[in-house]
Every structure is written in C-alpha cells, then in structure tokens.
Amino acid sequence: MIGLGGQDRAMDEAKIKMSAARYSEATGVTSQYIVFDDDDACIPCNTKFCEEFKRLTGKKLLCKNIKKYYSEQAIRLGECYVYYCPIGFCHWIAPIIDQGKLKAALYGGPVLITDKQEYLFEELVNKNNIPLEQAHNLYVYLEDIEQIKPHRVTALADMLFLVAKNLSDSHYTGAIESRELVSEQQEELFESINRIKENLSISNIKYSTQKEQLLLKSIEDLNLEETKKLINEILVELFATGGEDTDILIARILELVVILSRGALAGGADYIEIFWLNGMCMKEIFQIDNIEDLYLWLTQFLEKFVDLIFKNKEIKYADIIHKACLYIKANYMNKITLEDTASIAKVTPNYLSKIFKESMGKSFTHYLNLVRIENSKKMLMGEDITLEEIALKSGFTDQSYFTKVFKKLTNVSPKKYRQAHIRHHNDLN
C-alpha cells in the first residue's frame, strides 16, 4: 500500500515513477504519472504540438483537471479510462488509490488511433480561429504524434490498470465491484419507492408536477442556476407539507432522486456515475430517523448530484464531440442520423445537438453536409464518375439534393466546380 503524505511521500513517488518507467520500457509507449495533491496545477506539455497550440491560441490546457476528472471516471467504472482530450488526441489513465481516496494516476498518450489524414485538424484550426498561414508548424508537429491501432490502445490501457492497481490499497476493490451492482441498485431504488407508496398515505405531500418537468428541462439544458432554484423550491414544498413522518418524506425524496437521474441521463451524464449515486442514496437514506438529519443529508446529497451533472462539462464536451466527428468522417457515405451518432457518443440526441452547436459553431446537419461536400470535391476532380454516382457515394439520397447543398455551401454547382478544376488542370499542363 502506498501513502503519499508525510515522510514517506518521496519514497512512494519514486515507486510510482519507477512503475511508469518500467511500463514504458515494456510497451514502447510513454507513460507518466501525476499526484493530485500537488499545489502546481500545471503539467508540462510533452509534445511540440500542444506547446504550439498554446502559443497560437493563448489558451491554457487544463490537463491536470482533465486527468483528475477521467481518473474519477475510472474509479467508478473500475477500469483504465480511455478518452479524447480537447485537442483530439487519445489518452488512457489509471487511478492510484490511497486510503480509499484518489491520490495519483498513471497515464499514457497522447496518440492517434486513426490515420493522420483522418485527424480533425481543420476543425481544430477553425474552432480556435487559428489563421491557416500560422498553422503550418502545428501540422508538421502532428507527425510526432504516434499512431496506434485501437485494439492495442485497449491492451495498453488494461496493462496500465494492473500496474496502478498494484500501487493502490485494498479500498480500490470496492470501486471495481460497484460496477457490477449498478443495475441492481437502480432496480432496488424503484422497488423501494413502490413499497413505501403501498404502505403509506402520501397525498398530504404535493409539489407541482410542472416544476418536475421544468427541473428535467433545466438539467438537460445544463442551466445550473435554474436547476438549483427549482430544487430549492421543490424542497421547500416537500418539507413544508410533509409533517414529521420521515418515512413519507423519504418516499418523496426517492421520487425526486429518480427525476434527477432521468434528467441527468438526458443531459449527457454518465449512467454509471448516476447509478452509483443512486446506490449511495439507498445505502444512506434508510439510516436516517429524524427530520433534521434528513434535511441535512438531503442538502449535501443534492449538492453532490448537481456537481456531478454540471462539473467539468467542457471536458465532457471535448470527448463527446470528438467521438461524434470521428463517426461522421468514417461513415459520411452512409445514412447517418443524429440518433445514430448520439448512440455512438453515448448521449441523448437532444444533448448532442445542443453541445454540437455550442462547441463546433454549427449544427450537426451542417457539419455532416460539410464533410460530405468536402469528400465529393475529391471525386469531382476526375471525369470518370457521374454526378449521380458522386452524390450517392457522398451520402446524399439523390443528385438534385446533392447539387442544392453543394451550391449552398460553395456558391457554385458541382458541374461548374468540376469544369473549373479541369480548366485549371489543363492550364497547368
């Protein structure tokens, strides 16, 4: 067991550092470590690409916050977490637990798991308003990022998890086992509500169902202030009309937890995280037997719930958007729907639509059409394929709609675009 505090800290960090070095030697992939109670909130960039990106944009990449967030996800999942950073590179991270708390982590990456030609370079440049003439070095430094196949990343992540687990204490096994209890906890929550309802008269406790709907919408819209306001209003009504019967209040509180869970999932929260909180609720709430303790517990519990939904949303955005864009680029020639893409990114369609617009500055449909048109331009450079065939191979249902979209996005028809290219090619020759 490691202990990262007091006099033993230097020795323990040396052990972690050695483990990261041995992992790198065995795999040929760089691994590093981070201690989360360090005062220094910055992690030195280990790639020229990241340094150049920061120079061009003036942005600070909150790598430590990102790594802590995904370490927490790894704890709840009980496995090494593979994720995309805001720049679009793939990483994997495994937490190190000391005395039941996250203290440090081992991490690998950045790597690319697609061809460099498939990396979302143009999207990164456009989104961050980097002039193309200044982006040359950035593109050159992309060559330094190692490309690794997805199945190898999975194997590397599994190995890193075993190394980190060996450095952790026995408390970590609880986090691993909790993943298997997720479905059971959610089912138990609903059963408890129904069981209490059968034995109690709860007609004297009422709060507006309209407020429930507003609460769901505020969570899905990621409106933090409105969510807090509505929760407070519901709690006031709950305790003002609930009398002194804790069993009745608990029944209503469990209903509120279900409503919050539903809204959180619709808003893109990780279902493992939400069900984990449900399990904590079930474990703790039935141990309370007086109104004062129930109110105190509920206030603290709801703070955890709201924090889980709203914290680090920018970090979540980057991972979700990158998965969605990669899916579109790999499948633009097929029928792609918002629903299909949301399923790949593991969020609801409404949530994906909202954050796509916020993050990319354009709608999902607009981005899909841009990808299709850019790929159609490559085919238009040849004369051996008809416009109808190009339309179908670009993912459009017919030539007429393809022509309409092409002209809207380029201000010229596909036919004239092809003719202009042929003339230019002939002039060069």
Q: Tell me: the pLDDT tens digits for 145-163? A: 888 888 888 899 999 999 9
pLDDT at residue 394 in the model? 92
In this structure, are 262 and 279 located in the same domain? yes
* Local structure of 229: helix, strand or coil: helix
Residue 1, in any domain of the structure: no
In this structure, are 144 and 192 located in the same domain? no
In this structure, are 260 and 166 located in the same domain? no
| CATH number of the domain enclosing 355 | 1.10.10.60
Where is average pLDDT lowest: 94-108, 157-171, 223-237?
A: 223-237
In this structure, are 266 and 413 located in the same domain? no
Q: In what order do the strands lie in the sheet with 101-111?
A: 31-35, 101-111, 90-98, 81-84
In this structure, are 238 and 381 located in the same domain? no
Range of the domain at 78: 6-170
Burial annotation 165-189 (CB, 10 A radius, 16+ → b, else e):
bebbbeebeebeebeeebeebbeeb
Give per-residue pLDDT as tens, 95-149.
998 877 788 899 998 888 777 666 667 777 777 788 877 888 788 888 888 888 8
Total domain count, the chain: 3
Single residue among 272, 294, 311 that ends a domain in this structure: 311
In this structure, are 257 and 345 located in the same domain? no
Residue 55, in any domain of the structure: yes
**Reduced to 3 DSSP states, what percent helix, strand and coil does the chain have, rounded to the nearest 5?**
70, 5, 25
Cα 325 from chain centroid?
13
Q: Does the pLDDT value for residue 195 go beyond 60? A: no
Rg (CA), the chain: 26
Mean residue pLDDT of the chain comes to: 76
Are 429 and 422 a contacting pair, CB within 8 Å?
no
In this structure, are 379 and 291 located in the same domain? no
In this structure, are 341 and 307 located in the same domain? no
Where is average pLDDT lowest: 20-29, 143-152, 193-202, 234-243?
A: 193-202
In this structure, are 154 and 37 located in the same domain? yes
Q: Rounded to two decimals, what is the model's pTM? A: 0.54
In this structure, are 301 and 322 located in the same domain? no
In this structure, are 286 and 353 located in the same domain? no
Single residue among 246, 279, 311 that ends a domain in this structure: 311
Where is average pLDDT lowest: 42-46, 134-138, 163-167?
A: 42-46
In this structure, are 19 and 153 located in the same domain? yes
Single residue among 279, 311, 343 that ends a domain in this structure: 311
